[in-house]
Each structure stands twice: as structure tokens, then as C-alpha cells.
Amino acid sequence: MVIAASVCVVAILGAANQASAPTAAPEKETREAVAQFYKALNVLFTGDMKPMNDVWSHADDVTYMGPAGGFQIGWKNVGDELGRQAAMKLGGKIEPSDIHVIVIGGALAIVSNYEKGENVDAAGKKVPVSIRATTTFRSEGGKWKMIGHHTDLLPSLAK
């Protein structure tokens, strides 16, 4: 069983190494993609979904397990959930901290960090945010696109 799992991981990593040509500076580009995501997230809190559309891959294999709970698979489902969150107009601002980037073969990147800041509830009260997040990026057409995002739950948003 362990050998089969190891072979599977090696096969996945081998495929990742061949998925697309490595970029000149994949870690730097991944960090830029992370910055673009958090910029898009803060715009999403105003109700505007467009920047979030731009940072995500629109592929059928993307996944989202965000602070409201649930598990969305495929861009249609992920986009619908992000649209629901945009409609909430949560306000406030979230910033990443303690960012750790792992680039795999120049085609995939895994980012782990904290998300810290605040949102505003329906009554106008500031709600602190301090959660863990893991985000996966893939190089698509020479650009890093999000293909997965998983965070802790936020009690104020959990369904």
C-alpha cells in the first residue's frame, strides 16, 4: 500500500514537471499571483467579482473550500460560491502573512499562509479574521492561475 502511494506521488510529480515549461522565476511569479489574489479578495468584499474571475483558472478541476464551508469543484461551482460571497459585501480587508511557497516543476505551486484582517457583519460591526489558508496555483498559458483554495472556517460565515 505504501509503495503504491509512493509510486502515485512520484507519477504526479513527474507529470507536474512535464505539464508546462518552467518560467524564469516561478517563485517570484507565484508570490505576484498571491498578491493579485488578495487584491481581488479585497475587491470581492465590495461586491465586485471581476478581479476574482481573472485570478482563478476556469477549469473543471478547480476546488474551493472557503471560510463559509462547503466543497466546490469546477469553476462553475467555485465561481457561483464566490459570487454569493461578493453579494454579501463583507467589507474590511484581509492580508496574507507568513507566506510559504513551494514550486513543483515550474508548473504547480502550493502556498500556505495566514489570512489576517477584518470583515464587517450585517450590523456594521467589525469581525476579526485570523485563519490558515492553502492555495494551489498552476501555470496556464504562461500565467499563474488559482486552482484550489482551502481555509479554516469563520464562525461568522459558516453555513
Q: Which secondary structure element, helix H or strand E, spans residue 12, and what is its range?
A: helix 2-19
Question: Closest by alpha carbon to 149, among 46, 98, 92, 77?
Answer: 77
9-50: per-residue pLDDT in tens?
333 444 444 444 444 479 999 999 999 999 999 999 999 999
The rounded radius of gyration (Å) of the Cα atoms in the chain is: 16
86-95: per-residue pLDDT in tens?
999 999 999 9
- Give the alpha-carbon dihedral of 31, 56, 19, 72, to 10 degrees: 120
Conformational region of residue 42, where left means phi above 0, alpha means psi within -120 to 50, and beta covers everything else: alpha
Highest mean pLDDT among 5-9, 81-85, 123-127: 81-85
Between 23 and 75, residue with greater pLDDT? 75
What is residue 121's three-state secondary structure?
coil
Q: Which whole number is the average pLDDT over 102-125?
A: 94
> Given pLDDT bands bounded at 50, 70 and 90, which one contains residue 4?
very low
Whether 8 has a pLDDT exceeding 60, the answer reads no
Enumerate the H helices of 88-147 as residue ranges. Answer: none
- Residue 157 pLDDT: 82
Residue count of the chain, please give it: 159
Query: How far is it, in rounded angstroms, from Cα 20 to Cα 138?
Result: 9
* Residues 101 and 75 sit within 8 Å (Cβ to Cβ): no
Q: How high is the mean pLDDT of the chain? A: 87
Q: Pairing between strand 72-73 and 93-104? A: unpaired
- Residue 159 pLDDT: 60
* Residues 71 and 79 sit within 8 Å (Cβ to Cβ): no
* Residues 115 and 80 sit within 8 Å (Cβ to Cβ): no
- Residue 6 pLDDT: 36
Percentage of the chain surpassing pLDDT 70? 84
Q: Which secondary structure element, helix H or strand E, spans residue 74, and what is its range?
A: none
- Residue 109 pLDDT: 98
Between 110 and 15, residue with greater pLDDT? 110
Q: How far apart are the first and last CA of the chain?
A: 37
| Domains observed in the chain | 26-151 (3.10.450.50)
